[in-house]
Amino acid sequence: MALIKSISGIRGTIGGISGEALTPPDIVLFSAAYATWVRQNNPERRPKVVVGRDGRMSGDIVNRLVCGTLLGCGIDVIDAGLASTPTVEMAVVWEKAEGGIVLTASHNPREWNALKLLNHFGEFLDTQESSQLFEIAERQNFYFAPVDLLGKYSQKGFTQQHIDAVIAHPLVDVGAIYCSGFSVVLDGVNSVGGVIVPKLLENLGVACIPHNCDPTGDFAHNPEPLPEHLTALSQLVVSKKADLGIAVDPDVDRLAFVCEDGTPFGEEYTLVAIADYVLGLRKGNLVSNLSSTLALDDIAKHHGCTRYLSAVGEVNVVTEMKRRNAVIGGEGNGGVIIPDLHYGRDALIGIALFLTHLAYQKVSCSQLKGRYAPYYMVKERVDIPKCLDLNAVFSRIKKSYKNQKISELDGLKIEFEAEKKWVIIRASNTEPVLRIYAEAATMEEAKALVQNLPDFITPKQKFTKYY
């Protein structure tokens, strides 16, 4: 399996051959390339970089390699320790640092790790910045500091500062949440969410029942917060008679809820509910990636606002949000971005806004879900065959669907506007797979859309799992 280099960072499995896995030489290589890129962009000053990590078992080793390399390149390092991705993003700005590195493979299983690279705005490197870094890594023309100019190392935690910023947000009503007396079961997936989210809930006056909250990195289940991975959480919500369940991914930038009756609220509807609340108070534009639910269109129209689409990936959503001056954005994978907090997916602000919305509506979680138009989404993946000519695949698909609206913003999206359904096929930014998503008013229609596409790639391959 090749090392994955994209706008989502440098990602691979731990253990294996350099270039095919994320090995110590790879970690040093890309850390040195990043240090060189930072220095080139800040020639007049001694740069500093914030480094934080999720709870993965490989996290401490990767952290030592990254911090040591940065120090050797003459970069001052602020080690944030166990910290969520949004915490590190905000810390870059608070510390007036020249950049940041988050050591996390997000939703990938425990054998994966990654370097997520941030600029001085605390935002992921865009396509141009990433290309510059990859060119530096290819040339390997690095600067290593003499002994008198080595970087300085310090440690500082930012968790409480992040929580304070969330509860101080003008759309978060701590009093309303507190008076609602919510009881929540939290699945922290044995990572940093098990540390930071209970502290947030305590500050909001919410009773937290922890589940998988010891940050060992030995994930109790597949860490992607999808319904099929949250069955134990659903059972606990019911048995503990909690008001809802909360699940986050290992770096706490994705968020999913479980209703009081154990049914999934749905990761796609995380952004729907929060956008409903935000747009009700702040009229403005909404941005999501193009594979997020049609329910976002309905919410935007309900509030007299407009939804705009971007390519998949946080940096693409953020770019479009800035272009459209959006008041909220995110992705249908449970990622919520509130720009006046920071331009990054953040489960903490998502939790606080959702609980405020629930408190104001004075309904149960399942009743709130029932207020939104039901759409059914199928999410599947196909391993990319060797020597696959993706352009040829797309050409065959476009020819077959020539009478439908087709978007090539990211992969290939076919829209059936009159029937309110769509299907998309695109290469993943984080795994060596093709993702095929479809959405329609019924599960049968969505399944049919997905089942038709694999024949353009590998004939007679059929899927059996649907979300």
Please tell me the distance from the alpha carbon of residue 350 to that of residue 318, in angstroms, as a whole number: 16
Please tell me the distance from the alpha carbon of residue 50 to that of residue 95, in angstroms, as a whole number: 8
Closest CA to 184 of 226, 233, 151, 254: 233
CB 303, CB 352: distance < 8 Å: no
CB 94, CB 64: distance < 8 Å: no
- Residue 325 Cα distances to 15, 354, 444, angstroms: 43, 22, 37
Is residue 106 among the annotated active site residues? yes
Please tell me the distance from the alpha carbon of residue 152 to that of residue 442, in angstroms, as a whole number: 58
Q: Tell the burial category of 155 from Cβ atoms under 10 Å away from its Cβ (0-12, 13-18, 19+).
A: exposed
Question: Which structure tokens are listed for 432?
Answer: 């060596």
Q: Which listed residue (8, 106, 180, 291) is catalytic?
A: 106
Rounded to a whole number of angstroms, the distance between the first and last alpha carbons of the chain is: 26
Please tell me the distance from the alpha carbon of residue 189 to that of residue 211, in angstroms, as a whole number: 8
Query: Which DSSP string do the residues of 378-419 spell out, in sequence order?
Result: EEEEEE--TT--HHHHHHHHHHHTTTSEEE-SSSEEEEEGGG
- E strand or H helix that includes residue 245: strand 244-248
Radius of gyration of the chain (CA): 22
Please tell me the distance from the alpha carbon of residue 82 to that of residue 64, in angstroms, as a whole number: 13
CA angle 222/23/429 to nearest 5° reads 50
- The DSSP bridge partners found for residue 52 are 81, 102
Beta strands 244-248 and 255-258: pairing type? antiparallel
Q: What is the DSSP letter of 21?
A: B
Collapse the DSSP code of 37 into the 3-class scheme (helix H, G, I; strand E, B; otherwise coil) and give the result. helix
Give catalytic residues, as residue numbers.
106
